[in-house]
Amino acid sequence: MKFTSSIKLYRKLRYRKGFGVHSPFIYNLITKVIEENIPYYVFDEIEHFRKGLALRKETQHKNYGALLFRVIHFFKCRTILQIRAYTGVLTLYLSLASRKNSACYALEEHSDWLDAVKVFAGQHRLENLHWMEGDYADNLRKLKAIIPTFDLIFINRLGNAKQTAETVELTRSFIGEKSILIIDGIYKNKAMRTLWEKVKHFPETSVTIDLFALGIIFFDKKLHKQHYKNYFDYGKKQNLYEKRRQRLYLFGWRKKDTQNESET
């Protein structure tokens, strides 16, 4: 346990705040997206929904969703694909980041897992959110006739190297030059670390950023091929909007401008 804590501390000290990064693109990504902690009011609604799923273990930490939300918001992603929606908590972050100007497709093989989140989505009129239940390969074939490439693809196979590798291959045909691919669990085990190295060296890959918890891949040929690391504290307590608003009231500051609109 102490050894693991020491590794996390080293990463936190060594790979933070864009230190040593000379690429303006990556520096902006780190400082304005990964390291950003400004809360959006929709985070509270999603986390309230998560608490209602107490009987089902939710494996991803709160900061995963906030990061996905900021990536979509920053890069103005309009077509979003998630492989393995599970309970749908992260799907809500994906769809709410740009609910009026995006189409979010969430794929899940176990339809009964989605019962609760479908109610939430209906209550919040998430018309941009499309659930696709059943076999992933079959649904991806159906999607290919509708959307040739996606702006953002999130592979959420929880560190299962075999399933992740299969999913990467299934989604490669949806990757365009402006696409962003996010893979969860890249350090989960040796096989996942090997897969991450393989993806980094795909011919179409240009820039990658290793966040230890997950990896982000860009394919824009205008970017010089380079691989970066940055520590992402996925276990840190999320800075939620309601808590920040309470602090503003405590110090007598105005609440104006603290409510960030998620709609673009």
- Where along the chain do its domains lie? 2-250
User: Which range among 61-70, 114-123, 157-166 shows the weakest confidence by mean pLDDT?
Assistant: 61-70
Q: What is the pLDDT of residue 236?
A: 52
Q: Is the pLDDT of residue 57 over 80?
A: no
Q: DSSP character for 30? A: I
Q: What is the pLDDT of residue 113?
A: 87
Buried b (16+ CB within 10 A) or exposed e, 6-19: eeeeebeeebeebe
80 vs 36, 91, 98, 200, 241, CA distance in Å?
22, 10, 10, 21, 25
Query: Among residues 36, 6, 35, 39, which one has the least CA distance to residue 19?
Result: 35
- pLDDT category at 212 given cuts 50, 70, 90 is confident
Q: Please determine, looking at this structure, whether the domain spanning 2-250 carries the CATH number 3.40.50.150.
A: yes
The pLDDT tens digits for 79-113 are 999 999 999 999 999 999 988 899 999 999 998 88
Report the percent of the chain where pLDDT is more than 90.
59
pTM: 0.82
Q: What is the pLDDT of residue 249?
A: 42
